[in-house]
Amino acid sequence: MSALLELEEVRAGYGPTSVLHGVSLSVPEGEVVSLLGANGAGKTTTLRAITGGVRWTGEIRFAGRSLRRMHTEDVVRCGIAHVPEGRGILTELTVEENLKLGSHLRRDGAAVRKDYERVFEYFPVLRERRRLSASTLSGGEQQMLALARALLMKPKLMLLDEPSLGLAPMIVRTIFEIIRAINQADRVTVLLVEQNARLALDMSSQGYVLEVGRIALKGASAELKGNESVRHSYLGY
Amino acid sequence: MSVLQRIRTAPPRYWLVGVVILFFVGLPTVIDSFQASEWAQALILAIAIMGLNILVGYSGQLSLGHGAFMALGAYTSAILAHRYKMDYLLTIPIAGLLTGIVGFLFGVPALRLSALYLALASFALAVVAPSLIKRPVELTGGVHGIFVPPVDPPQFAKDAYAAVTGTAMTSDQWTYYVTLGCALVLFWLAWNLVRHRAGRAMRAIRDGEVAAAASGVNIAGYKTLAFGISALYAGIAGSLFGMAVGYVSPDTFPVALSIQLIVGAVVGGLASIPGPLLGGIFVYFLPIESNQWVPTQTWIPSQIASTVEKAGPAVSYGAVLILIMIFASNGIVGLVTAGYARVRRRLRGPGDRETGQTSPDPQTV
Amino acid sequence: MQEFLQQVVSGIATGGIFASLALALVLIYNAMGLVNFAQGEMAMLATFAAYTLINRGVSYWIAFPLTLVIAFAGGIAIQRIVIRPVERAPILTMVIVTLGLATLVNGLAGFFFGYVPRSFPSPFSAQTVNILGALASYQDLGVIAVTGVVLLAIYLLLQHTTVGLTMRAAAHHPEASRLLGVRVSWMLALGWGLASAVGAVSGIMVAPILLLEPNMMQTIIIYAFAAAVLGGIESPLGAVVGGVIVGVTINLAGAYLPFVGGDLQLAVALAIIVAVLVLKPNGLFGRPTARRV
C-alpha cells in the first residue's frame, strides 16, 4: 500500500523556539493512523506543518507531491481536510453556512446533495439547527459540525486534532464511530492526533508516539497497545 | 565630575546636538529676513509635531486634529494681543497653557475611544474646525480673521544683533529667535519627559495597554497627560505661527494642516526627539521647493506647472507617507540609526561579539 | 407639514448617498478592522472616471455600471499594491497609510483634472412630483432608487451567493477559512474592490449637487463616518440606517434650526459622532467586542 502522506525529517517551530526536531512518518492510503503524545510533544505542530500553518524544513509529500512553500488554502485544495484544535468553527456564520464552506469548492452537484443527506443522517442535530448561528452549538455539536464540514470537502486525507477534547464520553463514542464509518465507507485516510491513546489505538491500524518533538515509538496499534512504556505513560496501567 | 570632565566624556550625539543648536542660532546671520521667517515657520511646525509625537509616537494615541489645537493657540494669542492689547510674548505661554488644558480635557473622553475611533473623531474635528471658528464673529473676526501686528525686537536684542552682524534686527528675525528659544526649551522638556518615568509609562501603554495596566501603570493619567502636553505644544506653535505670519483666519488651519503634522511626525521618525525637527523642515520646505523647481523647468507646459503647484505637495506627501510606512516606518531617524548601527558593527570588529553586549534602545536619544 | 415631508424625502436621498459611502467603510472595516480614510477620495476619482466617459459620449446609464467596474478594479489594485505590504502592521500604521493614500489620490485628481469645479450630469430631472400631498423631486427619488438598488445588490451578493459567503468567512475568520480552501488574501482584495464600487455610487450621485472637483468628498466622508459610527461600524444594515438618519437629521437641522447654516451642518455630523462614541460606542446595530489581550 502506497503512502498517501509522508513526512521526512521535518523540523518546525515558532520563531526561535523549535518544536519538531526531525519527525518522519508515513500514512498509508486508506488507513487510520494515530499520532500520540503528551501535551507539548508537538502533535498539533505536526498537523499545522502539513497544512502550512507553521514554517518547516525537511520534506512533506502528499500523493507524491511536495507541499513545500504551499499556502494553506492550496494544500487544502489538494484534498486535505484539517480539523484543528478548537475545531475552527466560523461562529459569525450559521451552521448551514459553515457546511456550505465545506462543499464550496466542489463541482459535482448531485454528489454534493447526497453527501449533505448523509451528513444529516450522521448528525441529525445539524439539520435541526441549520439556520442558527454556529456559536449556539455546544462543544459536542461543534465537533460534529467540524466533522460534517470536513466530510463535505470530500477529502482524500483527514487530519483530526484531538476530536475527543472536552467532550462527554457518549458523544465521543458517536463521533469516533462516524470517523470509522467515514474511513471505511468513503475510503478517507485519517491521521488522528489524540491524547486519549486508548481510543486512538482502538481506531487505528498504526500509531506513532511523539515525545518532545521526535518519534519515540511506532508500529501496529495492537503492538503499541501491548507495549510497556506506552501502557505506563499513555494508557494508565 | 567637573564640568570639563563632563564635556570630555560626553557621548558623540551630544556634540551633534551642540552643532545643530549653533547652526540654528547663527542661521539668520547668513540668510535674508524673509528666509528667516520661513525657517521660523518650519521650526513652528517642528514644535507642533514634537507635541503630536508625544501623543502618537510615545503614548500610541492617534490624533488627526492637532491643527485645531494650533488654531486655538493662535486665536488665543491674537485675541489677547489685538483686543486686550497684551504684549504678544506674554500671550504665548498663556495660549499654550489654555490649549494644554483644553487638550487635557479632550483626553478624558478620548480614553474611551479605541485608536481608530479617536483618529476618526479627531479627523472630523479638524474638518469642522474652520467652520466653528467662523461662527463667533465678534470674537474671532469671522472669515476675515484677526490681524497680528509685527512684534518689534526689544532693545537688548537689537543691540546684540547689531554688535554681531552690524545690521538692524528685523521683526521677522526676532520672531525666528523667539521661536528658536521656545523650540529649544520645548525639545529639552520633551527629551527629559521621555527619558524618565513618564516616558517609560507612556511607551508601556503604547506597546500594550493591558499589560501596562497589569503592571500598575496609571493608564488614564498618562494618556490624558500626553494629550494635554501635546496640545500645549500645538498651542504654543499656533501662537508663534500668528506672530510669524501676521494674521490668523479660519483658512490658515484647514484639515490639510493636521495631515501635514502627521506626515512630519512619521517622516521624521515617531518616538524620537530629532524626528520632529526633521519632519517640520521636510513638511515646510517640500511644497516650496517643488513649487520653485517646477516652473523653472521649461519643458513643462504652464497648465501642468500650475496644477503641479497646487497638486504637487499632495502627491508627494501622499506617496512619501505610504512609502515610509511600508519601507521605513521609523522615519528618517529610524533609517539613520539603523544605518549608523550597521556601520558601527562593522567598525567594531569581532571583539564585541564575545561580550554579547546588545546595543541600547536606539530611540532613547 | 408639506415642507417637513419634503425635507424628509430630501434627507432620505442625501442619506442614501451617505449610506453608500458608509457601507464601503463598513465592508473594509469588517475585512480588516481598519477605517479607510481614503474611501471618499477613491469615490471622487471614480466619479472623475465617469465624467471622462460621459464626456466622450458614453451614455449615462452605460457609463454608470462601467464606472463601478473601473472602481472595482481600482479597489483591488489598491489593496494589492498599497495595503497588502502593511497587512500585518499595527492599526496606526495602516491608518496612516490610508491617510497617505487619501492625500495621494486627491493630489492625483488635482494633477490630472485640475481644481476647477465641473458640472456633472444627473439622469433625473429636477421636476417635482406630488406624493401624499408633498412635493418630491425626481432627483431625490432617483437617488433613493439608485442607492436602494445598489445596496440591495450588495446585500444579496453577501448573503446569498457563495462568493459573498467566502468573503464574509475570510473577513471574520481568516485562519479557519484558509483551512477550508478559501483564498483569504484574494477575498480581502475583492472586499476592497466591492467597497470601492459602492463608494463610487455615492460620488456619482452627489456630483450633480456639489459639482465635481477634487475636494468634493471631503465633507461627505465626515457624514459617512457619522453614519457608520451611528449604525455600528461592523454592521452593513447599520450603515444604511445610519446614513438615512444622518441625512434626514442634517436636512431638518439645516431647515429648522436657525444657527445651523450650510457649513455648520457638518458640525451636526461631528456632534453625532461624539454623542454616539460617548453614549453608545457600538452604535445602533453593533455588538460589543471583547478586547484581544
What pLDDT score does B291 carry?
Answer: 65
pLDDT given at position B111: 81
**Phi and psi dihedrals of A13, rounded to 5?**
-170, -175
Flag whether C198 is in a domain.
Answer: yes
* pLDDT tens per residue, range C191-213: 999 999 999 999 999 999 888 99
Q: How far is B128 from chain C (nearest CA, A)?
A: 6
Q: Return d(Cα B284, Cα B279) in angstroms, integer.
A: 8
3-state SS track over chain C: CHHHHHHHHHHHHHHHHHHHHHHHHHHHHHHHCCCCCCHHHHHHHHHHHHHHHHHCCCCHHHHHHHHHHHHHHHHHHHHHHHHHHHCCCCHHHHHHHHHHHHHHHHHHHHHHHCCCCECCCCCCCCCEEEECCEEEEHHHHHHHHHHHHHHHHHHHHHHHCHHHHHHHHHHHCHHHHHCCCCCHHHHHHHHHHHHHHHHHHHHHHHHHHHCECCCCCHHHHHHHHHHHHHHCCCCHHHHHHHHHHHHHHHHHHHHHCCCCCCCCHHHHHHHHHHHHHHHCCCCCCCCCCCCCC
Give CA–CA dist C63/C49, Å, rounded: 9
Is residue A104 less than 8 Å (CB to CB) from chain C? Answer: yes
| pLDDT tens sequence across A164-184 | 888 888 888 888 989 999 899
Interface mutation vs chain B, best among C99, C220, C221, most B CBs within 10 Å? C99
The angle formed by the CA atoms of residues B289, B295 and B296, to the nearest 5 degrees, is 90
State whether the Cα torsion A213-A217-A221-A226 is positive or negative.
negative
Among partner residues B60, B117, B326, which is closest to C85 by beta-carbon distance?
A: B326
Domain count, chain C: 1
B361 vs B337, more confident: B337
Tell me how close the Cα of A6 comes to any Cα of chain C, in angstroms. Answer: 20
Helix B115-134 × helix C265-279 angle, to 10°: 150
Q: Is the dihedral of CA B53, B55, B56, B58 positive or negative?
A: positive
| Cβ pair B326:C86 closer than 8 A | yes
Q: Which residues of C touch B117 (CB under 8 A)?
A: 229, 277, 281
- Residue A32 gets the label, from left (phi > 0), alpha (psi -120 to 50) or beta, of beta
Higher pLDDT, C139 or C53: C53
Give the cell for residue B169: 534686527
CB contact under 8 A, C218 and B325: no
What percent of chain A lies above the pLDDT cut of 90?
40
Is A194 inside any structural domain? Answer: yes
Q: Which of residues 130-189 of A touch C (CB under 8 A)?
A: 149, 153
pLDDT interval class at B297 (50, 70, 90): low
Residues of B in contact with C275 (CB under 8 A): none
pLDDT at B283 over 60: yes
* The total number of residues written for chain C in this structure: 293
pLDDT, tens only, B149-207: 888 888 887 778 777 777 777 888 888 888 999 999 999 898 888 888 777 777 777 77
The mean pLDDT of chain B is 80
- What is the rounded CA–CA span in Å between residue B333 and residue B336? 5
The verdict on residue B324 lying in a domain is no
C-beta atoms surrounding C183 within 10 Å: 18
Lowest mean pLDDT among A94-103, C13-22, C132-141: C132-141
Would you call C176 and A76 a contact, using CB atoms and an 8 Å cutoff?
no
* Mean predicted confidence (pLDDT) in B216-226: 80
Query: Cβ neighbours of residue B271 under 8 Å, at least 6 residues apart?
Result: B53, B57, B58, B203, B206, B330, B363
Q: How far is Cα B134 from Cα B146, in angstroms, rounded to an integer? A: 11
Question: Is C109 a member of any domain?
Answer: yes
Using pLDDT thresholds of 50, 70 and 90, give the confidence band for residue B238.
very high
Q: Half-sphere exposure of residue B254, counting CA atoms within 13 Å on the CB side?
A: 5
Q: Do B123 and C37 touch (CB under 8 A)?
A: yes
Question: Which of A53, A76, A92 has the CB atom closest to C180's CB atom?
Answer: A76
Q: A32 by DSSP, 3-state: which?
A: strand
pLDDT in tens, A110-160: 889 999 998 998 889 899 998 999 989 888 889 889 999 999 999 999 999
- A109-122 vs A139-152: helix crossing angle, rounded to 10: 160
Partner-chain contact C99 B64, CB within 8 Å = yes
Per-residue pLDDT averaged across B302-321, rounded? 70
Chain C's closest residue to A159, CA to CA, is C179
pLDDT tens digit string along C143-194?
889 989 998 999 899 989 999 999 999 988 888 999 999 999 899 999 999 9
- How far does B109 lie from chain C, in Å, by closest CA? 7
Domain assignment of residue C196, yes or no: yes
d(CA B269, CA B364): 12
pLDDT at residue B352 tops 50: no
Closest CA to C235 of C276, C265, C268: C276
pLDDT higher at C246 or B13: C246
Confidence category of residue B311, pLDDT binned at 50, 70, 90: low
- The burial class, CB within 10 Å (0-12 / 13-18 / 19+), for B360 is exposed
Q: What is the pLDDT of residue B87?
A: 82
C-beta separation of A92 from C173 below 8 A: yes
Give the C-alpha separation, B126 to A120, whole Å: 57
CA dist A65 and B159 (Å) reads: 86
pLDDT at residue B124 is higher than 50 = yes
Please state the rounded mean pLDDT for residues B99-108: 90
What pLDDT does residue C262 have?
Answer: 66
B309 inside domain: no
Would residue C293 count as lying in a domain?
no
Alpha-carbon distance A233 to A63, whole Å? 34
Flag whether residue A77 sits within 8 Å of chain C, measured between CB atoms: yes
Whether residues C177 and A89 touch (CB distance < 8 A) is answered with no
Minimum mean pLDDT range among B213-217, B243-247, C2-6, C119-123: B213-217
Looking at the predicted structure, is the pLDDT value of residue B349 above 60? no
Q: Is the pLDDT of residue B361 over 50?
A: no
Taking only the tens place, the pLDDT of each residue in C262-279 is 677 888 888 888 888 888
**Mean pLDDT across chain A, nearest whole number?**
89
- Name every chain B residue with its beta carbon within 8 A of the beta carbon of C35: 116, 119-120
How sure is the predictor about B102, in pLDDT bands with cuts at 50, 70 and 90?
A: very high
Quote the CA–CA distance of A231 and A222 in Å, as a whole number: 12
Q: Mean per-residue pLDDT for C75-103?
A: 87
Q: Which residue of C165, C183, C184 is in closest CB contact with A101?
A: C165
Which structural domain range is residue A189 located in?
3-87+155-235
Asked, for residue B249, whether it belongs to a domain, the answer is yes
Could you say which DSSP state residue A227 is in? -
Contact C168 A82 (CB under 8 A): no
The predicted pLDDT at position B294 comes to 60
- Whether residue B55 contacts residue B63, with contact meaning beta carbons closer than 8 Å, is answered with yes
Which residues face A57 on adjacent strands? A11
Does residue C124 lie within any of the structural domains?
yes
Which segments within chain A are labelled E, that is strand?
Answer: 3-14, 17-28, 32-37, 56-62, 65-66, 80-83, 157-161, 189-194, 206-211, 214-220
Residue A128 lies in a domain: no
Cell numbers 459573498 correspond to: C164
| Domain count within chain A | 1
* CA-based nearest residue to C215, from C29, C8, C101, C45: C45
The residue with cell 446595530 is C285
Q: Give residue A61's pLDDT.
A: 92
CATH of the domain at A50: 3.40.50.300
Neighbours of B, requiring at least 3 CB pairs below 8 Å, are C
Nearest CA in chain B to C268: B128
Residue predicted with more confidence, B354 or C65: C65
C-chain residue closest to A83, CA distance: C179
Question: Quick one: cell of C250?
Answer: 442634517
A106 at the C interface (CB within 8 A)? no
Q: Which residue of chain C has the CA closest to A150?
A: C180
Task: For residue B259, list chain C residues with Cβ-Cβ distance below 8 A.
Answer: 99, 103
Beta strands in chain B (DSSP E): 146-147, 247-248
Q: Does A73 touch chain C (CB under 8 A)?
A: yes
Residue B359 pLDDT class (50, 70, 90 cuts): very low
* In contact, A85 and A165? CB cutoff 8 Å: yes
| pLDDT value at residue C47 | 95
Grid cell of B250 as nine digits:
479660519
Instruction: Specify if C127 maps to a domain.
Output: yes
* pLDDT tens-place string over residues A179-222: 999 899 888 999 999 888 888 888 899 999 988 888 888 888 88
Determine how β-strand A3-14 pairs with β-strand A80-83.
unpaired
The residues facing A215 across adjacent strands are: A210
In three-state secondary structure terms, B210 is: helix
Please name the residue of chain A whose CA is at the shortest distance from the CA of residue C170.
A90
Chain B: nearest CA to C244, how far in angstroms? Answer: 19
The CA-CA-CA angle for residues C65, C66, C67, to 5°, reads 90
3-state secondary structure at position B359: coil
The neighbouring-strand residues paired with A193 are A35, A161
* pLDDT attached to residue C70: 96
Of C39, C40, C65, C36, nearest to C50 by C-alpha is: C65
What is the domain range of residue C59?
13-215
The DSSP call for residue A138 is -
What's the mean pLDDT in A7-19? 88
Q: How far apart are CA B333 and CA A169, in angstroms?
A: 61
Strand ranges of the sheet holding A56-62, from the earlier edge strand across to the other edge: A17-28, A3-14, A56-62, A65-66
The total number of structural domains in chain B stands at 1
The answer to the question of residue C164 being in a domain is yes
- Rounded to whole angstroms, what are the CA distances from C237 to A71, C43, C259? 34, 21, 32
Tell me, yes or no, whether C81 lies in a domain: yes
Q: Is residue B5 scored above 80 in pLDDT?
A: no
Domain that holds residue B221: 8-255
